[in-house]
Chain A
Amino acid sequence: MNQIIEVKNLTKKFDDFVAVNDVSFSVNEGEIFAFLGPNGAGKSTTIKMLTTLLHPTRGTVTLDGHDPVRQPDLVRRTFGIVFQDPSLDDELTAWENMEFHGVLYDVPDKLRWERILQLLKFVDLWDRRKSLVKEFSGGMKRRLEIARGLLHHPKIIFLDEPTLGLDPQTRNHMWAYLKELNKNEGTTVFFTTHYMEEADRIAQRIAIIDHGKIIASGTSAELKQQTATSSLEEAFLALTGETIREEAATSTDHLRTMRRVWRR
């Protein structure tokens, strides 16, 4: 099968700190791939290197045969991304944010307006399309980012914790849409999440990264088998340990981990 993402010995250092440490993996074309790991494991940093935002310290990456460092323009044509952190223009309306994105990605006028209508209805923001984004709640902003990420149909779509702060309705909707896209257009989906049941349900293959190194990969069943556990969450904890990562952990992440530890 054709490998649409190939990563070899990828390393990223920030000064002396090694955020991503000699990572190698590949993703097949048309695959739904989950990239899991505790806070500060290096997931977002890896995604930034795949999507031309950061230059690797060492190692090579190819996306659909192109190198993000040497052929950034070609690479940028192949993917779409929903970032972990906010990336909307607060001073523009919901509709203007969508329109801006659609134009930058060469979606033809008619198709663009059709999709904007469809997607804004889909995330339940059509009635608020003329409101400035700064008037939106956190969840509404997140929904808009998801809608925007789905506006152009790229070959690869990166989703960095897309469901963070989303209600179950929108979450289910979003995954249904992505599965459709994956089936009909063969879109490769590369996502991160801290919800293990979500990864279990959606991903065809999983890689687990911790302290900048990939420590396991395979299907959910393989990971469970390897660790002799019955759920992906247990497998994840068996592989990454129970300690809380101090790096970049938000208070909700702490709470989540605490609860997890408490229950056992």
Chain B
Amino acid sequence: MKKIYILWLRQIKRYLRSKSRIVGSLAQPLLFLLALGYGLGGVFQQAGQGSYINFLTPGIIGMSIIFTAIFTGIEIIWDRQFGFLKEMMVAPMSRLNIMIGRTLGGATVATIQGLIVLAISLLVGFRPDHWSGLPLLVLFMFLVALLFTALGTMIASLLNDMQGFQLIMNFLVMPLFFLSGALFPLDNLPRALAIVTRLDPLSYGIDAFRILLISAGHYGLGADLLVLSTVTVGFLWLGSYFFKKIQI
């Protein structure tokens, strides 16, 4: 238990110490909120869909969570490059627990990042329906964060260096984000797009955020919870499988 805690603590400390990373990773969501929120706000309203900032905010929270989560998962490559991975890999601790400690730490960081984006969105004009869903919202945010940190860890276990990082950003993270319904409503989509969005786990996360913040969803909270937790367990299992196989 204590070992998992110290691995968790390490992630948190590293996060709090990288001020430039925090600022940098908040600039992007803010840009999206301002440019898209206000740029498309008029069109969205005319189409009878209500406030675009309100619609967009849950999507941007999802965006900051997926980016941070995958990134902290992928940090294993850094650990490998700077040598610290060796220190962890020879420790008398099960690989599963190493993976759990790291993943919990990364997921906590991503959740905090999501909450900061929520706070920022209030400053630029986001108005939630009610605040009663907040505890549940944090829970869902953590679940989404866990899912993508595990995915990041899994990918990082398969890569040897930073070469593949750009590839992952372009061919995995970006599509996951753009096809998640973060930016557009999931109703009345062309058939192909509707199928793809259904396959994207982030869709269910953002759907849950919308239900809890602006009472507008597509799949329903129960379905979201079911899909998210199943996929999370799957990724955690796969992640620890690949993590175990790492050789240095």
Which A residues have a C-beta under 8 Å from some C-beta of B? 48, 51-55, 73, 76-77, 79, 81, 83, 85-92, 96, 99-101, 103-106, 132
Indicate with 1 or 0, residue by residue over B5-37, a CB within 8 angstroms of chain A CB atoms: 010001001100110000000000000000000
Alpha-carbon distance A79/B91, docked complex (angstroms): 9
Query: Which A residue sits closest to B87, measured CB to CB?
Result: A87
The 24 sampled A-B contact pairs (Cβ below 8 Å) are A52-B90, A53-B89, A53-B247, A53-B248, A55-B247, A73-B92, A76-B90, A76-B91, A76-B93, A77-B92, A81-B90, A83-B87, A85-B83, A85-B86, A87-B87, A88-B83, A89-B14, A91-B14, A92-B13, A100-B6, A100-B10, A104-B6, A104-B91, A104-B92
Rounded to whole angstroms, the CA-CA distance of A89 and B87 in the bound complex is 9
Give 1 or 0 for each of B74-102: 1 = CB within 8 Å of chain A CB: 00000000111011111111100000000
Residue of A nearest to B91 (CB): A104
Q: Chain B residues with Cβ under 8 A from A85's Cβ?
A: 83, 86
Size band of the interface chain B makes with A: 20 to 34
Lowest 5 CB-CB distances: which A-B pairs, in order? Answer: A87-B83, A104-B91, A76-B92, A77-B92, A103-B6
- B residues apposed to A, CB below 8 Å: 2-3, 6, 10, 13-14, 17-18, 82-84, 86-94, 247-248
CA distance A51 to B89 in the complex (A): 10
- Name the A residues within 8 Å of B10 (CB-CB): 89, 92, 96, 100
Note all chain A residues with C-beta closer than 8 A to B86: 53, 83, 85, 87
Residue numbers in A under 8 Å from B3 (CB-CB): 103-104
Residues in A neighbouring B88, C-beta threshold 8 A: 104
Question: Inside 8 A of A53's CB, which chain B residues have their CB?
Answer: 86, 89-90, 247-248
Q: Are B94 and A73 in contact (CB under 8 A)?
A: yes
8 Å CB contact of A54 from B18, B82, B248? B248
> Which residues from A are CB-within-8-Å of B2?
103
Contacts of B84 in A (CB 8 A): 87-89
* CB–CB A106/B92 < 8 A: yes
Q: Which residue in A54, A90, A105 is a CB contact (below 8 Å) of B247?
A: A54
Do residues B18 and A105 form an inter-chain contact, with CB atoms below 8 A? Answer: no
Q: Which residues from chain B contact A106 at a C-beta distance below 8 Å?
A: 92
The complex places the Cα of A214 from the Cα of B248 at a distance, in Å, of 23
A132: chain B residues at CB < 8 Å are: 17
Q: Smallest CB-CB separation from B245: which chain A residue? A: A55
CA distance A100 to B14 in the complex (A): 13
CB of A169, distance to nearest CB on chain B (Å): 25
Query: Which listed residue, A48, A73, A91, A101, touches B17 by the CB 8 Å rule?
Result: A91
Alpha-carbon separation in the docked complex, A106 to B91 (Å): 10
Q: Is B93 a contact partner of A104 (Cβ separation < 8 A)?
A: yes
Contact, CB under 8 Å: B83 / A101? no
Whole-angstrom distance between the Cβ of B62 and the nearest chain A Cβ:
27
B89, A52: Cβ atoms under 8 Å?
Answer: yes
Q: Is the CB of B94 within 8 A of A86?
A: no
Chain A residue contacts of B92, Cβ below 8 A: 73, 76-77, 104-106
With a cutoff of 8 Å between Cβ atoms, the chain B residues found around residue A51 in the complex are 90
**CB of A108 to closest CB in B, whole Å:** 11
Chain B CB count within 10 A is highest, among A87, A90, A99, for: A87
- Selected from A90, A96, A101, the residue in CB contact (under 8 A) with B13 is A96
A101 near B89: Cβ-Cβ < 8 Å: no
Contacts of B94 in A (CB 8 A): 73
Q: Is B82's CB under 8 angstroms from A86's CB?
A: yes
A105 to B3, CA, bound (A): 9
